[in-house]
Chain A
Amino acid sequence: MPVPSSFLAFDGRWVVVTGASSGLGRAVAVELAGLGAGVVLVGRHAGRLAETAALLGNAAHRTLELDLVEHARIVPAITQLRQDVGPLYGLCHAAGVVETRPLPANTVDTLRKQFDINLFAGLELARAVCRRDVLAAEGGSLVFISSVYGRVGMPGQTGYCATKGAVAAAVRALAIELARRQVRVNCISPGLVHTEMTRQSLALLSKEHVDKLEAAHPLGPGKPEDVGRAAAFLLAPGSRWITGADLAVDGGYTAQ
């Protein structure tokens, strides 16, 4: 696959992508592969990871079957990965779950399920990738997928909103802490993007509600590749002076 010569070129640097089985994670992986990155596809199901791998052409890649709820497995798995492919450069934490529940049904357990994946797994992955014996000596780049719901509210999404707001807050703290090691940390806040996860979530809503939600995006709903391109931009070594940013990729949803 021809690699464009630009500041977006990754020149073989390895990036770990979670949620790579589908949706935003898959789109990020495809984009990175096209820009010359080695991509580590992380997900729970080998079959679906293989489907993503098939989209990467001849790009260097590995698949890593990992249930991110099992936090204790993350550091050993990433450490082993470093033995296999060499120093790692980046991480994109795109794995996420959403539970649509009004307050009376929003128990600590349902909140915790969302925090386990959306926040805690991401931070544990950051801890694993940024180990001094894992990360490339030149530094690296981390991107977390937050959400517009980390910025604005939505009925039934208290837990999801809380996790995504926490992601954005953690990203700012990490950006400051890791700058001394030339590690950049940013997040993306996507608006409504049609993926399998949002399809399931929207299925709970009336058609009128969905239409209204789509209409609230001045540029209309997004596509996974819209987020994939933004993630590649923030991850790229050439974006060397961007850290602590929360980039809205939402078709104008939060600009109103």
Chain B
Amino acid sequence: MGEQEGPLAAAIMNIEQALEWIAEVFEESPGRIVTTTLRKEIPGWDSLGTLSLIAALDERFDIHLSEQDIEGMQGVGDLFEILRRQGALQGA
């Protein structure tokens, strides 16, 4: 079986889809999450929420976060950087 790099094409999201996906992961109402939202502003993004995020990134995009990634995420912007780096997010 060959190695697969990055997410499947079908899983690549635009900004709007990514915001909806993040809202779903943290069980927030769609629209409450924007690109500048900070982790501390999302009640569901506590230590258990981070575990949910790790599982969701793995299941949907086959993305495995490094410890550095996990420690460095302070908000949606940092998460977007990871998604872009892994080819799961397109758009400015």
Report which A residues bind B (CB closer than 8 A). Answer: 131-134, 177, 180
Let me know if B48 and A177 touch, CB within 8 A. yes
Bound-state Cα–Cα, A134 to B27, Å: 9
Please tell me which one of the listed residues A133, A177, A180 contacts residue B29 in the complex, with CB atoms under 8 A apart: A133
Please tell me which one of the listed residues A132, A134, A177, A180 contacts residue B26 in the complex, with CB atoms under 8 A apart: A132
Which interface residue of A131, A133, A134 has the most chain B CB atoms within 10 A? A133
Bound-state Cα–Cα, A177 to B26, Å: 15
Let me know if B44 and A132 touch, CB within 8 A. yes
Q: Knowing that A131-B27, A132-B26, A133-B29 are A-B contacts, what are 9 other residue pairs whose CB atoms are under 8 Å apart, sorted by A's residue number?
A: A132-B27, A132-B28, A132-B43, A132-B44, A133-B27, A133-B28, A134-B27, A177-B48, A180-B46
Contact with A along B40-62 (1 / 0, CB 8 A): 00011010100000000000000
Residues in B whose Cβ lies below 8 Å from that of A177: 48
Bound-state Cα–Cα, A177 to B46, Å: 12
Considering only CB atoms, which chain A residue lies closest to B47 in the complex? A180
Bound-state Cα–Cα, A131 to B43, Å: 12
Residues in A whose Cβ lies below 8 Å from that of B28: 132-133
Considering only CB atoms, which chain A residue lies closest to B42 in the complex? A132
Chain A nearest CB, measured from B28 CB (Å)? 7
Bound-state Cα–Cα, A134 to B29, Å: 10
Q: Is the interface of A mostly helix, strand, loop or mixed?
A: loop
Residues in A whose Cβ lies below 8 Å from that of B26: 132
Contact with A along B8-31 (1 / 0, CB 8 A): 000000000000000000111100
Considering only CB atoms, which chain A residue lies closest to B49 in the complex? A132
9 nearest A-B pairs in the assembled complex, by CB-CB distance = A132-B27, A131-B27, A133-B29, A132-B44, A133-B27, A132-B43, A132-B28, A133-B28, A177-B48
Considering only CB atoms, which chain B residue lies closest to A130 in the complex? B27
Chain A nearest CB, measured from B53 CB (Å)? 14
12 A-B contact pairs sorted by A residue (CB < 8 Å): A131-B27, A132-B26, A132-B27, A132-B28, A132-B43, A132-B44, A133-B27, A133-B28, A133-B29, A134-B27, A177-B48, A180-B46
Considering only CB atoms, which chain B residue lies closest to A135 in the complex? B27
Contact with A along B46-85 (1 / 0, CB 8 A): 1010000000000000000000000000000000000000
Residues in A whose Cβ lies below 8 Å from that of B43: 132
Residues in A whose Cβ lies below 8 Å from that of B46: 180
B:32-46 near A, CB below 8 Å:
43-44, 46
Chain A nearest CB, measured from B17 CB (Å)? 18
Residues in B whose Cβ lies below 8 Å from that of A131: 27
Chain B nearest CB, measured from A79 CB (Å)? 10
Bound-state Cα–Cα, A180 to B47, Å: 12
Considering only CB atoms, which chain B residue lies closest to A137 in the complex? B43
Considering only CB atoms, which chain A residue lies closest to B23 in the complex? A133
Bound-state Cα–Cα, A46 to B46, Å: 41
Chain B nearest CB, measured from A127 CB (Å)? 10
Residues in A whose Cβ lies below 8 Å from that of B48: 177
Chain A nearest CB, measured from B16 CB (Å)? 19
Considering only CB atoms, which chain A residue lies closest to B46 in the complex? A180
